[in-house]
Structure 1
Amino acid sequence: MATIPKHMKAVVFNGPYDITTEDRPTPRVKEPTDVLLKVKYSGLCGTDLHTYRGHINSAVKGQIIGHEFVGTIVEKGTLLTDSDFEIGDEVISTFTTQCGECWYCLHKCSGSCTKTNTFGKPGLDGGQAEYVLVPNAKNTIIKKPQNTDWKDDSVYVLMADIFVTGYYGVQKIINYVKSDPSMSNVDYSDVRILQLGVGPVGLCALRILTYLGFKNVVCVDSVHTRLQEAKQFGASQIINYEETPKYLEDLIKQQNDGVGFDVCLEVVGATSSLRTAYDALRRNGFLCSLGMAHDDLPFNGLDCYIKNVNLSFGRCHVWSYFKEALEVFEVLKTEFAHFIDYKATIDDSSNAFDLFDSHKVNKVVFEFK
């Protein structure tokens, strides 16, 4: 077993726009179901920005943050046999922990597990650190696929959260198309989708949509590089809402003689984005929100009643969908080889957050030697 140091470097949240790299005691296995990982790569996620900007109180001062990481097992609890995990196994972690035994875990709703927590939130230190303690390991981490032809493990950081979250949103769209009477006998290629937001999660969702046969996906954002990436990933149309602020009315007119979109995939969480999604939907349409909304909804119960709108919100049930999403990821991962465009050292944490917050980079990953 590798020597585990007494102290490690970690990225710490001290308040809005205040990120520092500090020395912290290295965690050790406490429970028989724990593992300790030596982190190899750790991602910076868009939801980290909600905390960074002070929009939501999801981390306390002094919290080690980060919920996207891959690493190597260096210590494990006594209940974990070699058939579960061995020291030296390279693994991917989900962004949440889950027990695997409660009603929610057993019914494919692991994100609502009665014992769940998110890495980097109060009570559970995150993975933007040299080492991270993983509770309930058998239901939280999975061994990395052994691919002799693939050398850069950093791409698997996408599987910790954003790719599975995109996959989750797409599966909800598929469930709607299959079950709603208004979509009977409609081919995937004919479903009219408006996607609001093509940041990292949005781009993952878009590529999964086009991979599965959805061809009419109009993507809206304000970041030029993201929109160009969306075009490469198969968007039927890209729109910069800052350059064409009155696009929505014309778009709706173009959809089925003014009926509107069948589906709106909202990947922002902002009040304005949710209102745009609602307005763009046809009656009986499906609003699928993957963004972390944290303000009052911009429509009320009567609005939803009159429009017969179908709503779906909530964080991804990442463990429940992980294995099937990984199968798709293994097919598409070469297309995401360029996706991580900024690899930072842990000492560069403050600058990395600033670059990501200002949209100067697409995806940040901290690399540990």
Structure 2
Amino acid sequence: MDAVIFRGPYDIAVEKRPKPSIQSPTDAIVRVIVAGICGSELHMYRGHQKTDTGHIMGHEMVGIVEEVGSEVSNVKPGDRVVSTFSAVCMSCWYCKHSYTNRCIHGSAFGTQQLDGSQAEFVRIPFADGTLEIAPLSMPNELLVMMCDIFPTGYYGASRATEAFATLDNRTIGLMNGGPQQNIGDAVFVCIGCGPVGLCAILTARSKGVRTLFAIDAVDDRLEEAKNMGAIPLKLGKDDIKQTILEATDGRGADAVIEVVGNKAALRSAFDLLRPCGVLSSIGFHQGEFPFDALESYQKNLNVNFGRAPVRAVFRESLECLDSNKEKLKSFISHKLPISEAPRAYALFEKQEARKVILVPGR
């Protein structure tokens, strides 16, 4: 079968690999219909994430079940399915407590531990937990967002809105007769308007955030953010910090969702927050924190980091996606055959594409 192989930084190739087979009774083999390229894969592509080479890339896919192991009961051959970005066993302590992002038996697709979905076929471990039956009303091009980017954006925005609503200082203020701050009166910021950032913006708006500033350097992304109800601010052009201060009487943002995954973005998120604000970081960071413990103490920082538990938030995020699907008609900017994977990665890396999907076969 044709498969997209990581050969090193900026070196992607399409090679022939053996079709995968059932290795465990909990496995399924899926024929891939569409596979996405995700922003987190750019860390590997650019050489920021250190890894060995030779594995099949990709952790986003919609496909048709071809074969299942003897212990698989939730899906059967012929089912159209969508996969979460990592295999989840649903039996370990973390999975049972809805922390599926920390499953101790599963691995992320598209890594040295588990070949990915940018191929004609993919082996799915723990198929009952990893695969979801595709809703009949959802097209493949939209559904591929449910593997990672929409649940991740949903998770980042939800953590920000939920933390904002339950801050200790607000509770103390209410106990002492202080005013309650409504989510509609809050000022949110999203740093990074790539696919995940746009999903986070859409989610935050659907949860009642009325004032949301979107920060990026790419005009196309900012235009999409504006279409979703955000106020665009362009890096290198707008005075971002002053704009946020003026919108908050000099305090800073109530919450910042950081999606980019580099030090500059994380430092900017910290600097734009007011004291006792909320930082929800879903960027895939590779290095050290750009702020220290003393700075966090002095700001009374409320912070959440880490990957999304896609399986745990799948249903609620799918409902959010479905209710906003009209706003996402132009979300997929490029649909290319898998043979053009090297070009697809280059387009995405240069920020010349909003979201790219690959189609196996001709």
- TM-score, normalising length from structure 2? 0.95
CA displacement 1:342-367 (0-9 Å, x = unmatched): 01111101111101100111110001
CA shift, 1:183, in A, is: 4.2
- In the aligned structure 2, how far is the partner of 1:262 from the partner of 1:238? 17
Residue 38 of structure 2 corresponds to which residue in structure 1?
A: 45
CA shift, 1:247, in A, is: 2.6
- In the aligned structure 1, how far is the partner of 2:77 from the partner of 2:88? 22
C-alpha RMSD of matched pairs (Å): 1.2
Give yes or no for the alignment of 1:153 onto 2:140: yes
Residue 106 of structure 1 corresponds to which residue in structure 2?
A: 96
Residue 366 of structure 1 corresponds to which residue in structure 2?
A: 358
In structure 2, what residue type is equivalent to 1:230?
A
Residue 203 of structure 2 corresponds to which residue in structure 1?
A: 208
In structure 2, what residue type is equivalent to 1:56?
Q
In structure 2, what residue type is equivalent to 1:247?
I
For the residue of structure 2 that corresponds to 1:234, the secondary structure is coil
Question: What is the identity percentage for the equivalent residue pairs of Structure 1 and Structure 2?
Answer: 38
Give yes or no for the alignment of 1:240 onto 2:227: no
CA shift, 1:335, in A, is: 2.0
- In the aligned structure 2, how far is the partner of 1:92 from the partner of 1:128? 14
CA 314–192 in structure 1, closer or farther in 2 if over 3 Å, else same? same
- TM-score, normalising length from structure 1? 0.93
For the residue of structure 1 that corresponds to 2:324, the secondary structure is helix
In structure 1, what residue type is equivalent to 2:9?
P
Give yes or no for the alignment of 1:134 onto 2:134: no
Give yes or no for the alignment of 1:18 onto 2:11: yes
In structure 2, what residue type is equivalent to 1:158?
M
Residue 219 of structure 1 corresponds to which residue in structure 2?
A: 214
Instruction: Return structure 1 stretches of 4+ with deviation > 4 angstroms.
Output: none
CA contact under 8 A between 2:164 and 2:277: conserved in structure 1? no
CA shift, 1:158, in A, is: 0.4
Provide the aligned length of Structure 1 versus Structure 2. 353
- In the aligned structure 2, how far is the partner of 1:243 from the partner of 1:254? 17
Give yes or no for the alignment of 1:299 onto 2:291: yes
CA contact under 8 A between 2:25 and 2:71: conserved in structure 1? yes
Any residues of structure 2 matched to 1:1-369 within 5 Å, and which? 8-57=1-50, 59-81=51-73, 84-147=74-137, 152-183=139-170, 185-235=180-230, 237-244=231-238, 246-248=239-241, 250-369=242-361
- In the aligned structure 2, how far is the partner of 1:326 from the partner of 1:252? 31
CA 329–247 in structure 1, closer or farther in 2 if over 3 Å, else same? closer
CA shift, 1:175, in A, is: 1.9
Q: Which runs of 5+ in 1 are unaligned?
A: 1-7
CA displacement 1:1-35 (0-9 Å, x = unmatched): xxxxxxx0000000000000000000011111100
